[in-house]
Structure 1
Amino acid sequence: MQDVQQIRNTVILGHGNSGKSTLAEALLFTAGSVNRLGKVDDGTASMDCEPEEQKRHVSISTAFNHLTWQKNEIFLLDTPGDDNFVNETLFATNVADTAILTVGAVLGVRPQTGKFVGMVQNKKLPCLICITKMDRERANFSNTVEQIRANFDLNPVITHLPIGAEENFKGVIDVLAQKALLFDDTGKTTAAEIPDDMADEAETLYETLAEYIAESDDDLLEKFLEEGELTAEEMQAGLNQAVEKGLISPVIPCASFKNFGSSVILDAIVGLLPSPDRRPAIVGTNPKDGELVEFEAAVDAPFSALVFKTMADPFAGRLTLFRVFSGTLSGDNFYNANKELSERYGQLYLVEGKEQKPVDKAIPGMIVAVAKLKETTTGDTLCTEAKPVIFDSPEPLPSVLSYAVSAKKGDEEKLFASITKLLDEDLTLKLTREQQTREVLLSGVGQVHLEVINEKLKRKFGVEMELKTPKVPYRETIKGNTTVQGKHKKQSGGRGQFGDCTVELSPLPRGEQFEFVDSIVGGVIPQQYRPAVEKGIIEAMEKGVLAGYPFVDLKVNLIDGSYHSVDSSEMAFKVAGSLAFKKGVMDAQPILLEPIMELEVRVPKDFVGDVMGDLNSRRGKVLGMDSTDKSEIVNAHVPQAEILLYSLDLTSMTGGQGTFTVNFSHYEEVPSHIAEKIIEGHKNQADE
């Protein structure tokens, strides 16, 4: 493979159940890359090769394969449509040159479709729109196209019109060529005359297409206005240019389950979508001087590539996938600009479903993989040391659902070692430790996401995890002031124990933790014993007095005491300090504090009322609202205890259209009626 002009790099995007993987299977089968037409529903799809995907009949990871069509190499990236795994789609789209957007002819535009359109527009990708499942009951091509036109700024233009629908879908009309293409039972096409009852519609669409093409180029527009038409050559060249610029998104109907339309789509990928060298040069930053640098998609340019996915395998080790943007990679090493080191690799591979095919070199546009790299991770830029560069990589989507995790059968060390391996593969997965509750928290994008992680752990590493709702890190403090004596006196034959201290307890402003003041005058407590009083109080604070939570925001002033020349010791004064604290706190209006989180919720305007009502029911305080073109942003302070599983509730409330971010803000007093329940629960637990 030598010619960049003969490479196409295409990401397949679309909402869940829009037929992405089925389309990819049909394209591979039609091109002869696979010898059977795999089916998602029966688990035979080569692109959905993970057992978790076959079980759930949905894509979980981006799948890769490539095919040859008309002497062109087409690299396909088949991405997930489920919200739990959309991070995979984000990273795949970042390295693609072009896109195929799938929209089901039955379901039409779904709420999630907007996310994928946003990715296409953000990267300014030339895009084909495939209206899938035209053979299904209630399939409606024209309604689906109108939904796309009404909801998104994609400028969909029908280049292929379906002949029939539902069980009668049997072909398409090529609007530009003004001919019919009929499908046989194997999916192969035969050219034919346009049916008489569709001739007028086909001609109207041709005129519409000519207008769109003319409007995309000043020279063509001038000729079109003067002569009223364009030549076939001008139409084809103008269409290619308009698609390349993102001014037109061709619309093609298909029924991939029957392999109807696959060859038409392959022709469009090769004929309408641009090769890597026709895309804008990629821009990165020179890490030495911070200057912007461009890299052209040419085989003789300096090598550059971006790592966008890492796969963990218990047998093969770590598999690192990257997209080559410029130059030619061969040999046995490259320079990692992020880590500032050279790494050796063994063999370059093309990823074909669950298999890897060795390849000698890689040129711009290719997706390739290497195994067992020690330092390189997702987001790193690979290049030459002579011309270093760092390319931008997307920020992973935030982890919004957390559970306390433990090993189901007690092998904690193996569990956490296995999870750590998956962290390289899945950047939305987070493993943290909550110091106060001593729980290890596993955080992900959603419930299904974490369930799939558990299934992977069991299959790949033979360990299973148990997930529990995490504990809330409550704290305790006081609202009032008090003066109290703590006295420890014990006599049991021989040397006794004696410590006596008087302290003033008072609250500190929220967040100031602890302050100890030594106000002893004279020698009522010798200097060597006073630190022990502080130590005893600090140790007692760790366990609290109301419900076992750490005590905070407390000022202690040591003002008086007494000692015994023989029986006093550091330990005795430590116990005295602890007694003074426990006794005094109960006289100083002790209260529970709860963490308050800063919540930012993004939802379509239709759901704002529901979201705000729900936040109010969670004891939330709405701080304000902002608007964007397509969504409303609600900012609020909400107790952490009320939003531990908010991800699940928001998804249910908004049909998956709502997103949110959450960060710790501050601590506030727990309302008394709730505090009573928490304290009671602690007492019951202690009694068990």
Structure 2
Amino acid sequence: MTDIVDELRNIVLVAHQGAGKTSLAEIMLFKAGVSKRIGRVEDGNTLMDFEPEEIKRNSSISSAFHQFDWNKHTITFIDTPGDQNFFTDTRICMQAADSALVVIDAVDGVKVQTEQAWEFAKEFNMPCLIFINKLDRERADFSRTLDDATQCFKPKPIITQLPIGSEEDFKGVVDLVSLKAYTYDANGKSAKIDIPADMQDLVANEREAFIENVAEADDELIERYLEGETLTDDELVAALKKGTLNREFVPVLCGSATKNVGIDLLMNFITDCMPSSIDRGKKIGVDPDKENEIERNPDADAPFSAFVFKTVADPYAGRLSIFRVVSGTLGADGTFYNVNKETKERFNQLLTVEGQEQKAATGAGPGAIAA
């Protein structure tokens, strides 16, 4: 069961309205094979924005949930509103995730709700990942957007990828971990290429800066680096994951959701470097009988504990309470103690929430988000 928990990734998508969170969610679902077509916000046919008011506004007004399998992991993501009028929902739902994917528009840069989401992540001590989106758009500028983020955010953002081309000539990314370059065709299919000649000096400089930043997360690595040793890719990935988990820095990736550029690398990064519930460790709650603080580790064999963070009204299923499992395992017909009502209750049906649909689940262990 520990292996199963370690293969779960709960990540919340946050940004200012219009940065492309929902478009990013849609393309990830498409690449993972969950959907057969790419939903478009402007067409009102996305899996994540399904409420009539969301379709009318072309923007999210309530958090939505979905999950997919990728690289032998299960990723559950929460697509949250970027509109300030609905940002309370964003804060509430962030508490159920283990990390945050902060989407920044490469044209508009960091905006008010981006900063607010960052403050929420700081409040919850949440590891973050930045994705600079819309690099194919007119006036998109990776360097300017990165400078904007560096000035606004702590811990420091560190470049993990570089874009190949800009605006209408944007066609791929260079991964500084593996030192590999990828371009994408009109269908989002990637091809490995040599690092472009006009980028080699930039890549070499940024690779050195990346290694130095990442090595600082591990005392042994930084010592070896300063002594001139070459660090392996596996060592860099481990240090990158450690530093991200401890909020020593924030990795910066880049691409375009609508053009399907860099999305596969982003999904790989989430499974390889973003934390599981086990990585995040224990949570502290209150014993309902003794009213003293108790700790719960993400252990499937521990007593069951969970917290409800959102309630929705479904026209078919009725009132649904969406919860995050902290410890233990709940079966489809399991019982639990309702702290608010001070009574034991039994589940009629255990569900996973996928967009506007719900699917029956046989059980839910640590890290699971269910209803």
TM over 0.5: yes
The amino acid across from 1:58 in the alignment is S
1: distance between equivalents of 2:296 and 2:191?
A: 43
Q: Does 1:363 align with 2:360?
A: no
1: distance between equivalents of 2:267 and 2:39?
A: 18
Q: Does 1:341 align with 2:343?
A: yes
Query: 2:290: which partner in 1?
Result: 289
Post-superposition CA distance 1:23-81 (Å, at most 9, x none)? 00011111111111000111011100111100000101001000000110000100001
Q: What is the correspondence of 1:41-60 to structure 2 with a 5 Å cutoff? A: 41-60=42-61
Q: Alignment partner of 1:297: what SS? A: coil
Deviates further, 79-88 or 285-294: 285-294
The amino acid across from 1:218 in the alignment is D
Q: Alignment partner of 2:43: what SS? A: coil
1:336/1:342 contact within 8 Å kept: yes
2: distance between equivalents of 1:236 and 1:337?
A: 41
Query: 1:8: which partner in 2?
Result: 9
User: Could you tell me the percent identity over the aligned residues?
Assistant: 44
1: distance between equivalents of 2:174 and 2:82?
A: 29
Query: 1:441: which partner in 2?
Result: none
Q: What is the correspondence of 1:418-567 to structure 2 with a 5 Å cutoff? A: none
1:62/1:77 contact within 8 Å kept: yes
Q: Alignment partner of 1:299: what SS? A: coil
Greater Rg by CA: 1
2: distance between equivalents of 1:101 and 1:57?
A: 20
2: distance between equivalents of 1:256 and 1:283?
A: 37
Q: Alignment partner of 1:278: what SS? A: helix
Q: Alignment partner of 2:110: what SS? A: coil
Question: How far is the alpha carbon of 1:280 from its aligned partner?
Answer: 2.5
Query: 1:351: which partner in 2?
Result: 353
2: distance between equivalents of 1:314 and 1:30?
A: 30
2: distance between equivalents of 1:216 and 1:41?
A: 42
Query: 1:275: which partner in 2?
Result: 276
Question: How far is the alpha carbon of 1:221 from its aligned partner?
Answer: 1.7
RMSD, aligned CA:
1.3
2: distance between equivalents of 1:62 and 1:314?
A: 17
Q: What is the correspondence of 1:630-641 to structure 2 with a 5 Å cutoff? A: none
Question: How far is the alpha carbon of 1:171 from its aligned partner?
Answer: 0.5
Q: Does 1:325 align with 2:307?
A: no
Question: How far is the alpha carbon of 1:160 from its aligned partner?
Answer: 0.9
Q: What is the correspondence of 1:203-222 to structure 2 with a 5 Å cutoff? A: 203-222=204-223
The amino acid across from 1:113 in the alignment is T
2: distance between equivalents of 1:314 and 1:183?
A: 41
Q: Alignment partner of 1:258: what SS? A: coil
The amino acid across from 1:52 in the alignment is E
2: distance between equivalents of 1:302 and 1:203?
A: 51
1: distance between equivalents of 2:87 and 2:71?
A: 32
Unaligned runs of 5+ in 1: 370-688
Query: 2:305: which partner in 1?
Result: 304
2: distance between equivalents of 1:37 and 1:315?
A: 26
1: distance between equivalents of 2:184 and 2:298?
A: 37
Q: Does 1:85 align with 2:95?
A: no
Question: How far is the alpha carbon of 1:121 from its aligned partner?
Answer: 1.1
2: distance between equivalents of 1:213 and 1:277?
A: 22
Question: How far is the alpha carbon of 1:286 from its aligned partner?
Answer: 1.2
Deviates further, 267-276 or 232-241: 232-241
Question: How far is the alpha carbon of 1:313 from its aligned partner?
Answer: 3.1
2: distance between equivalents of 1:289 and 1:319?
A: 29
Q: Does 1:183 align with 2:148?
A: no
Q: Does 1:230 align with 2:237?
A: no
Question: How far is the alpha carbon of 1:243 from its aligned partner?
Answer: 1.3
Query: 2:147: which partner in 1?
Result: 146
Query: 1:125: which partner in 2?
Result: 126
Query: 2:31: which partner in 1?
Result: 30
1: distance between equivalents of 2:230 and 2:257?
A: 35
1: distance between equivalents of 2:155 and 2:169?
A: 29
Question: How far is the alpha carbon of 1:99 from its aligned partner?
Answer: 0.7
2: distance between equivalents of 1:348 and 1:287?
A: 24
Query: 1:455: which partner in 2?
Result: none
Query: 1:39: which partner in 2?
Result: 40
Q: Alignment partner of 1:277: what SS? A: helix
2: distance between equivalents of 1:70 and 1:221?
A: 30
Deviates further, 357-366 or 339-348: 339-348
Q: What is the correspondence of 1:233-252 to structure 2 with a 5 Å cutoff? A: 233-252=234-253
1: distance between equivalents of 2:126 and 2:259?
A: 28
The amino acid across from 2:349 in the alignment is Q
Query: 2:195: which partner in 1?
Result: 194
2: distance between equivalents of 1:350 and 1:287?
A: 27
Post-superposition CA distance 1:632-679 (Å, at most 9, x none)? xxxxxxxxxxxxxxxxxxxxxxxxxxxxxxxxxxxxxxxxxxxxxxxx
Question: How far is the alpha carbon of 1:242 from its aligned partner?
Answer: 0.9
2: distance between equivalents of 1:337 and 1:297?
A: 20
Q: Alignment partner of 2:42: what SS? A: coil
Question: How far is the alpha carbon of 1:338 from its aligned partner?
Answer: 2.4
Question: How far is the alpha carbon of 1:228 from its aligned partner?
Answer: 5.1
The amino acid across from 1:199 in the alignment is Q
Q: Alignment partner of 1:256: what SS? A: coil
Question: How far is the alpha carbon of 1:325 from its aligned partner?
Answer: 1.2
2: distance between equivalents of 1:154 and 1:130?
A: 15
Query: 1:316: which partner in 2?
Result: 317
2: distance between equivalents of 1:55 and 1:85?
A: 16
Question: How far is the alpha carbon of 1:339 from its aligned partner?
Answer: 1.8
Q: Does 1:18 align with 2:19?
A: yes
Question: How far is the alpha carbon of 1:140 from its aligned partner?
Answer: 0.4
Q: Does 1:261 align with 2:234?
A: no
Moved over 4 A (4+): none
The amino acid across from 1:273 in the alignment is M
1:210/1:229 contact within 8 Å kept: no
The amino acid across from 1:293 in the alignment is I
Q: Return the structure number with greater relative CO, CA threshold 8 A, min gap 6.
A: 2
Q: Alignment partner of 1:3: what SS? A: helix
2: distance between equivalents of 1:269 and 1:237?
A: 13
1:306/1:322 contact within 8 Å kept: yes
1:305/1:322 contact within 8 Å kept: yes
The amino acid across from 1:343 in the alignment is E
1: distance between equivalents of 2:91 and 2:261?
A: 29
Question: How far is the alpha carbon of 1:95 from its aligned partner?
Answer: 1.2
Task: Give TM-score scaled by structure 2 length.
Answer: 0.97
1:5/1:275 contact within 8 Å kept: yes
2: distance between equivalents of 1:199 and 1:34?
A: 38
1: distance between equivalents of 2:189 and 2:7?
A: 24
Question: How far is the alpha carbon of 1:205 from its aligned partner?
Answer: 0.9
Question: How far is the alpha carbon of 1:229 from its aligned partner?
Answer: 3.9
Task: Give TM-score scaled by structure 1 length.
Answer: 0.53
Query: 2:160: which partner in 1?
Result: 159
The amino acid across from 1:231 in the alignment is T
